[in-house]
């Protein structure tokens, strides 16, 4: 699972879809053992993080939607990992 970004102790991962598309494009956020799966449009598929960290992830996704889409395509078509800047 490639790490594409990190900020404030939150790790952001993106999986390659091995058997074809199964969900909308999404990322996996991990903080202190808690996990959140969130689509690029903000829809939460599974899990939750502490409120503050979840709000940070939601804001980051909204700010980087175009970059996330490019990264999703690159990973699934070419196996390339595109890193995305975290929040500062």
What are the pLDDT digits (tens) for 13-51? 998 877 665 678 999 999 999 999 999 999 999 999 999
Please tell me the pTM assigned to this model: 0.91
What percent of the chain clears pLDDT 70, i.e. is strictly above it? 95
Confidence label for 8 from pLDDT (cuts 50, 70 and 90): very high
Average pLDDT, the chain: 93
Report the distance separating Cα 31 and Cα 16, nearest Å: 21
* DSSP-derived 3-state class of residue 12: strand
Report the distance separating Cα 70 and Cα 64, nearest Å: 10
């Amino acid at each position: 699972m490639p790490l594409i970004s990190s900020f404030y102790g939150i790790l952001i991962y993106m999986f390659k879809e091995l058997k074809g598309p199964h969900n909308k494009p999404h990322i996996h956020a991990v903080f202190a053992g808690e996990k959140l799966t969130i689509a690029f449009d903000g829809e939460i598929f599974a899990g939750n993080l502490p409120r503050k960290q979840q709000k940070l992830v939601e804001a980051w996704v909204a700010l980087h939607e175009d970059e996330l889409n490019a990264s999703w395509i690159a990973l699934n078509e070419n196996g390339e990992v595109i890193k995305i800047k975290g929040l500062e």
